[in-house]
Structure 1
Amino acid sequence: MKRILVFLSFILVSQAAFAAHYQVGVAKTNITPKKHQRAEVCMGGYGAPFEKCGLTDVNDRLSSRTLAISDKDTTMIITALDAPGISKAIIEKIKRRAQRRFGLSPDHVFIAATHSHAGPDLQGVWGGASDEYENYVVRKVIRSMRRALRNQEPALIYTSTTVAPVENRRGHAVVDESVNILDIVSRHDRERIATLVNMSAHPTIIPAENTAYSAGYIHYLREAVEDELGGITVFVNGVVGDAQAVTNELRGIDIAQEYGERVGERIVDAIAHCQRVRGDLAIRTTTLTHPVTNPLILGGIQAGLIDLALNENGHVTTTFSYFNFGHDVQGVTFPGEALSRLAIPIKDSLTGDVNFFFGLTNDTLGYFLPSDEFLQIEGRTTEESASLDPFIGDAAKQTLITLIQQ
């Protein structure tokens, strides 16, 4: 009997040591351009530069949403902005301030764009935004980080997964239809703190002729989850390079609403069958330096339309991260729009019960294609025209898989 009690005590102590104690906080803040700022802000996502500048209409408020997760010795910040993309200069400014004010390691701060095609152009590709508005966004993001850190409380983290109606717009059979979820509740009263949603579907249901600021289907998805569960929903896009929502080719605000609400319902249903996340939080980061050879990109840089820093050899340097919560949850960050045939093998190399892929995170470097797919689809070069180089996708894939396997 004594041996049994000793054995049970050992099991309980081991389980207690294995179950990490998380502190989690969340915050959101409005980043919709103010009325006086809109004259010098261009909407990004569609068309040629300067086609959509000075717009005044707003369909739904744009936001910056921050999730702060800590265990005993590591803090991760995830901030998602409703914008098509974010320049490296803005991201670095946010990271420097976060390090100076909160002591956060830049490698542990993940700044993502939801990729809304009706958000402000924070890259410069479609005409950009004024310094005033860019600085306004930076201040708002830092404010959301400060509130999220201050709001941290003991929390339980659960994970679950479902699927969304997604198809490959380049005609391939392969696409990432998974919707991966972190559901976070207070350890004290089980009230919901936040829900993180990571999925792959280009936010292009709102058509190119739209002139009202919007987060697209993402707004309605977040609203549906929050209305049902409470807390704040943070959306991070996934393998969006060639993934699009299945809407039977219908487009419009009403179609975006229907799609967002439908996926939101699936997320709520999936959370009813979640599993608890255990284990310490760990983060690893690496860099890739690669040549930029696309003449369209180089011309945009020279014209001052694209905010992209190259070294003296015409190379760009970007970062990739791997994170995990014990063995249950693993994930990677990716600095652009990865195509399915490139990204799904990366996800397959992860071994968690639920695996995350944060696209357009900590950089916005356009499309990443596998080299054997470059210029191989007749009549479609959208992704190739916004790729830095035919081989940057292969290099990114190898960099991430090496990082995962360390």
Structure 2
Amino acid sequence: MGGHEMPDNMTPDERAQIQLERLQSTLNRAYRNVPFHRNRQNRISEKTGKDPSLLEDLSEISGLPFMARKHLGKHYPYGLFAVPLRDIVRIHTAPGTSANPTVTGYTRQDLLNWREMVSRALMTGGVDSYDILQISLATGLANWGRDYKDGAEALAVGVIPNTPLSPEKQLMVLRDYKTSVLVTTPSEAVRMAGRMFRAGLNPTALNLKRLILVGEPVEQGFREHIEAQLHVDTWLHYGLSEVPGPAIAFECEHRQGLHISDDHFLPEIIDPGTGAVLPEGEAGELVLTSLTTRAFPLIRFRTGDRARLIQEPCKCGRPMIRMEWLEGRTDDMLNVNGVKVHQDQITGRLKDALGFVPTFRHYLRKQPDEKNLLEICIAVNDKLFSDEIKMLERQLRELKTGLSETLGVPVQLRLKEKSSF
């Protein structure tokens, strides 16, 4: 294992001291090796006369500036790496909020830390070596599939890796391979349940007993419905595609919020409008700072996710702080099958393909029997498409394919008269 898990029998003060030491180490590494962070350090020092890496209390982190998604694309590809490229053993690319993708890197130790976090989350959900774990995630969450595979294999679990399959093949594997744990998104779980019943496949004939739900928050009514329909338990995991990695937070058997891996990440809740840290127990935007990540440190990263921290001890006895993951977002991103999509990503792709930015609108289109998709309506323009039908169809097909590959989600294009916008 990575060796960064804190013993559960630590006192709160001992836990806070280790978090502070890890935070100081992260800040030192970032300020020493990353120009973006070093320039911020210099500005703080000039303004306050203090070195921001010499924090004496965790609460002092509120004096540091935020990181946002725009910074990840602006410093493409390796501008935010805090270690030499020779120390990087994995590079991951994800859609950014601009024309540039987000590129993240991992050292060997980073990968061990992720494996440790995912294994702990799975083990807390009762997954063990007797299970067969199947992973079914969208293209945009493919990296999470790899992390769940690594984390499960560390527990000697039998793993069916994340592989693009037709819905019929997914059901066949679920049935024939005796899957007992399925890692998927809530929306995909609903669609899979619908397909099972239409195919005449009775859930009682399956070995499936546990769903690990990722990518989207869920309401209690949804859980009760899907658990009753499929005769399974559900366990919610929270992750960030920008880090990227799953299981930053996870549920225990009491389902009273998600335990945050605060031995690896320091959470804050802020007012999304003012950026001020909110009083204990108030709902706002979740901000995360990495404590053990070596290659790609995040310092006060604004997630855009709505949450509330729960300070009271959990009945399970785990000392990690919990959060309630709330519906909705504090930014203008859409969550499509667990993959976050920003308007600027669509704008950049349209401009690349067409040479200019047309008038367009985008929506999340929910489909009961298929994957939810991103619908993009483009205003018809003389400059835009050919009058020839075959040419028009080809242009639309190529544009749709390019958008889907770039964003990692299903896309539907529609042409509309500008007057209808």
Normalised-by-shorter TM-score class: under 0.3
TM-score by length of 2: 0.23
As a proportion of its length, which structure holds more strand?
1
Pick the structure with greater CA Rg.
Answer: 2
Higher percent of residues as helix: 2
Q: Which has the higher contact order (CA 8 A, sep 6+)?
A: 1
